[in-house]
Amino acid sequence: MASSQGKNELIFADWMAALPGSLHSTPLTNLAIPGSHDSFSFYIDEASPVGPEQPETVQNFVSVFGTVAKKLMRKWLATQTMNFTSQLGAGIRYFDLRISTKPRDPDNELYFAHGLFSAKVKEGLEEINAFLTEHPKEVVFLDFNHFYGMQKCHHEKLVQMLKDTYGNKMCPAIFAHEVSLQYLWEKEHQVLVFYHSPVAVEVAFLWPGQMMPAPWANTTDTEKLIQFLQASITERRKKGSFFISQVVLTPKASTVVKGVASGLRETITER
């Protein structure tokens, strides 16, 4: 059983390289590529301050209940249990990334954030790069879709971080339908960076955010979610762009209040 599991892990880690030759020239827009939601949330620092994007009610809740409040928040904020390396080994190739500065941080670092702060961005990018170096035919999509507390200097810092980490591995923005595995392998590109900020138009290797739209059902009802996904897939296929199907249910405030001690997994995910 152990050897069989190891074999499967190997296939998942190199599934793009193992695709049949007939798909090598197929535009990646025509392939279903697995991704993760709030990809960095396997690690959430309960000792960190609350993220700047959180409403005043949450800020007040934490100021009153402190560590207990943050432990409850973590149950609703952590959408992943696997780190970047494990996700990549399991076949994940799209990463949903949300970046923030941290209040009163003496090092002026950039962090992944979802309500509370996660790992340093630099560490996460380097972890992904280590996998790509070992698996030269695998390609990842890095979707930087939310920025919190970031000024122009922070965007410049993040852009430089991407350059330093990935260099020529990054594919410059071109027409989406031109991007195939064969094209990327020939150019030795492994990373497509989508950047939901006007900064994207100034940097050749940043793909504008509108080239990776992510329609959001915003529902706790599974039937409504499926109907929404079917409609959005039909619409996006006509446009010939990359797009995201968010197969996730979203808790309402009342959902959280009712299951505050249970958390996301028991209340929503198992549906």
How far are the Cα atoms of 48, 51, 119, 222, 250 from residue 43, in angstroms, in the given order? 12, 14, 7, 27, 20
Q: Is the dihedral of CA 24, 28, 29, 34 positive or negative?
A: positive
36 φ, ψ (degrees, to nearest 5)? -125, 150
In 90-219, alpha helices (H)? 121-134, 152-166, 181-187
Q: Is 10 helix (H, G, I), strand (E, B) or coil?
A: helix
Query: How crowded is residue 128: how many other Cβ atoms within 10 Å of its Cβ?
Result: 22
192 φ, ψ (degrees, to nearest 5)? -110, 120
Is 189 an active-site residue? Answer: no
Determine which one of 24, 37, 135, 189 is catalytic: 37
Is 37 an active-site residue? Answer: yes
Alpha-carbon torsion, ordered 271, 80, 230, 8, to 10 deg: -100
Determine which one of 24, 114, 135, 196 is catalytic: 114
Q: Is the dihedral of CA 152, 156, 158, 159 positive or negative?
A: positive
Cβ-in-10-Å burial (0-12, 13-18, 19+) of 230 comes to exposed
Rounded CA-CA distance 231/27 in Å is 22
- For the annotated catalytic residues, the residue numbers are 37, 114
